[in-house]
Amino acid sequence: MEAKNENHSMWKFRLTAATMTLIPAAVGINYVAKAFAEGLKLPVWLGSLGTFLASMLAGPVAGAISGFINNIIYGLTLSPISTVYCLTSIGIGLAVGILYEKGYFDKASKVLPAALVIALVSAVISTPLNVIFWGGQTGIAWGDALFAYMTAHHVSIWIASFADEFVLDLLDKVIVAYLAYLIYKQMPKRLVFFFKGNR
C-alpha cells in the first residue's frame, strides 16, 4: 500500500514535532552510512542516505533542511570545508523529494534514471565549489587521477572538474538511491505513515 497522498502539496512544510525529530535522525543516518562506507573502504561516500530517506518520508523541503543541517554540523565539528557543500545537499534533498513525488521511487526500474538526475544535480552544484576551494579536485584518488589526465591534455578546468565529480557522484548516487529504495520498502508502514501524516 503506497502512502502517497495526491492531494497534498509536496512543498508544504511545517516544523512539527515529527519533522523536528526526523531531521536529526536523517543527519545521524548520513553520518553512520558515511562512517560505515569508510570502515568497509567502499569506493563511495553514502553520506546522503539520510537526506534521501528524509525527502522520501517528509518531502523535498525536509530533505533539503536535513542536507543543509548535515553539512553545517559536519562543518562545525569534523570538517569545516563540508559547510560549503551544504548547497549540494540542499540540491540533492530537493531533487530526491521531487522525483519521489513524481513516482520515480515506486519501482526498481525507475530508480536508475532518478539516480542519474540526482548525480547530475549534485555534480552541477559541486563543480564550482570544487574549482573555488580545491582548484577543481574532489580529494578522491581515482576521480582526481581523471582530473589530472584531462588537465594534462589541455581540457578546461571546469570540464575536467565536472567529469571528476560526476563519475564519483554517478556511482555514489546510484548505490544510495537503490539503498534508500530498498530500505524504504522494508520500513514498517506505521513509521512511514507517522512521518508522512505529520508533514
Catalog residues that contact other proteins under the rule CB under 8 A.
Answer: 15-18, 20-25, 27-29, 31-33, 35-36, 39-43, 49, 53, 57, 65, 69-70, 72-73, 75-81, 132-135, 137, 139, 144, 147-148, 151-152, 154, 156-157, 175, 179, 182-183, 186-188, 191, 194-195, 198
DSSP for 82-132? GGGGHHHHHHHHHHHHHHHHTTTTSSHHHHHHHHHHHHHHHHHHHHHHHHH
Give the nearest distance from C-beta 114 to other proteins in angstroms: 19
Closest to other proteins by CB, 10 vs 179, is 179
Closest to other proteins by CB, 120 vs 187, is 187
Closest to other proteins by CB, 1 vs 188, is 188
Check residue 43 and report its DSSP letter. S
Give the nearest distance from C-beta 9 to other proteins in angstroms: 21
Q: Could you give the CA distance from residue 18 to residue 175 in angstroms, rounded to a whole number?
A: 28
| Helices and strands counted in the chain (H then E) | 8, 0
Closest to other proteins by CB, 121 vs 165, is 165
With 0-12 CB in 10 A as exposed, 13-18 as middle and 19+ as buried, what is 85? buried
Contact in structure between 62 and 103 (CB atoms under 8 Å): no
Closest to other proteins by CB, 3 vs 20, is 20
Give the nearest distance from C-beta 10 to other proteins in angstroms: 20
With 0-12 CB in 10 A as exposed, 13-18 as middle and 19+ as buried, what is 160? buried
Check residue 12 and report its DSSP letter. -
Give the nearest distance from C-beta 11 to other proteins in angstroms: 19
Give the nearest distance from C-beta 25 to other proteins in angstroms: 4
